[in-house]
Chain A
């Protein structure tokens, strides 16, 4: 029988040795927080294989330590490790790590990584973070990253950011409308459904939903809108997954639900 500390030491040892199988066996027998502590300690190991293993385990044992390990690898010297860490940003759940994430937004990271950090702050942060997000938003020039910051603010309840998002549903371009719908998925607020009339009426093709080798089937803006409605929690009387072209009858049903939502007084922020 090993004590938890000796098991943690053994896990460190196996990670340092890059022994993936043994490390995973040991991790299974430890609480996630203990695994995370080890990972945070081992995240700056000199061996690439050890740092890769740290991220692999961090993806399986979410905890404060795991999240710290992930954030510490965003500037790893190895491109592969750096990019894998970037992919795990969405698993960070600890609100007390938002200051670290804000600090990282000031560093020379790739824009997609900064975008992922901004969105994750929106996911786990609170209204308290709005000021700092707003300051960052004003100081930036990159429009794509600004959009991610605006979405984070919209998710945290910033009224002007939400208004801009709603406005994008009426953009002239079909792809701009579907991008707005995708962003509404991130914001995840069902009260936004009351603004969907314009996209439910849009029958323009938006993007291909068939597999590359199959005959082309394109989803229309209205199809994307229906799936978004369902995804943000509006109950529809028919299944919406996987993605497909919905019938006129189904579009009409969705429109009726939106009509009802339109009559409900707008929520105050």
Chain B
């Protein structure tokens, strides 16, 4: 009778989070039936779109929070009465961590419930980043740096900061905030890339990342590489992926104080057409959204035994971790001209609901990313 959706179309925006309508059921919360949205503690003016799908605009409807200590509705105001229109935004404030419901009630604020929007409010969880502005075997950063002319370090710092801030737009509603702990000028020379290549291969790049000077053990290492001998905009490698692929030295953890180094990190190709969404997506990999043993982006993508399944529906086309292999990603992504994030823009939908594993084990990305982030080993030396 009523429905909910994102409060706007176009680019990701922290105050207009995606509504997960993919399941209407949740394997992790079997008692819940309905769409869900999330926000981070302290966020104000969070918008969701409310639709009268099968009920007249003349019916009096009220939006009521089941727990104003977690979710306080600010629009509509004190009475909670919704306007007599087919669609309007409900605006709320995320007060405290927890789960509450915005109920749509008929005729009175305590009338019968016609529909529910579940709201998960997350505590803030920072992901500090150590940004390495690299010089690789003498090759410095390009003037056309991340698709913008940058003539000096200050401009490059500003460009990366802008990208990281924009990448936060899709992750903040999940309580995940990327923060830049610092910029370092890191040099990769013969010790890191013995071939002397200025455009390292992917293998050389990950090996160099593993042994890189200035590597931080308490932040995600973001390597901004001037040139890569592969058609990539970015690569996100989690600690587990680095271990599985053998980018770890020594391979067996030595007794401390010796340190095991990993090739994990976010590798951004600064001469490429990387966008802030590259960071959003690759950080998804780092937060194990396509974790081992199946590194496909969504179910149907890169399944080891089958390798050919293709899932191509409205949900998978909107997902941040879209099935890149089975849905070809040829520039400029014409297969998904506009999935609600702007023309020729990829989607940024991060799923909240968990579906039964037999249906799709790649859902529940929001909580899985947070779990990965808080687990020991997320940051690696």
Where the two chains meet, the residues of A that have a C-beta atom closer than 8 Å to any C-beta of B are 20, 52, 55-56, 59-60, 62, 79-80, 82-84, 86-93, 110, 112-113, 115-116, 123-124, 175, 185-186, 188, 205-213, 215-216, 218-219, 227-228, 230-233, 240-244
Contact = CB atoms under 8 A, between A and B. Distances in A.
16 contacts: A79-B124, A80-B124, A84-B218, A86-B374, A86-B375, A87-B376, A90-B260, A110-B374, A112-B375, A115-B376, A186-B252, A211-B202, A213-B324, A232-B252, A242-B206, A243-B244
Q: Which of B249, B257, B380 has its CB near the most chain A CB atoms (within 10 A)?
A: B257
Contacts of A116: 376-377
B307 A216 contact: yes
Nearest to B324: A213
Given A79-B124, A91-B259, A216-B302, A209 B378 contact: no
Contacts of A89: 376
A185 B244 contact: no
A212 B297 contact: yes
- Per DSSP, chain B at the interface is loop
Interface string B231-272: 010010100000011110111110111011000000000000
Contacts of A62: 256-257
B335 to A, nearest CB: 16
B376 A242 contact: no
B304 interface: yes
B376 A80 contact: no
Given A83-B374, A210-B295, A212-B290, A59 B251 contact: no
Nearest to A243: B246
Contact of B245 (A83, A93, A243): A243
B328 to A, nearest CB: 11
A112 to B, nearest CB: 5
Contacts of B376: 83, 86-87, 89-90, 112-113, 115-116
B285 A212 contact: yes
Interface of B: 123-126, 128, 181-182, 202-203, 206-207, 216-219, 232, 235, 237, 244-247, 249-253, 255-257, 259-260, 285, 290, 292-297, 302, 304-305, 307, 324-325, 329, 373-381
Contact of B252 (A90, A92, A188): A188
B375 A212 contact: no
B346 to A, nearest CB: 13
A180 B251 CA distance: 15
B304 A83 contact: no
Given A91-B259, A213-B324, A185 B247 contact: no
Contact of B217 (A87, A115, A212): A87
A84 B256 contact: no
A228 B217 CA distance: 25
A124 B253 CA distance: 12
Contacts of A113: 376
Contacts of A219: 244
B325 A123 contact: no
B245 A209 contact: yes
A205 B206 CA distance: 24
Given A59-B218, A59-B381, A89-B376, A212 B126 contact: no
A83 B260 CA distance: 19
Contacts of A244: 246
Given A86-B375, A212-B290, A93 B244 contact: no
A115 to B, nearest CB: 8
A185 B290 CA distance: 24
A213 B251 contact: no
A242 B373 CA distance: 25
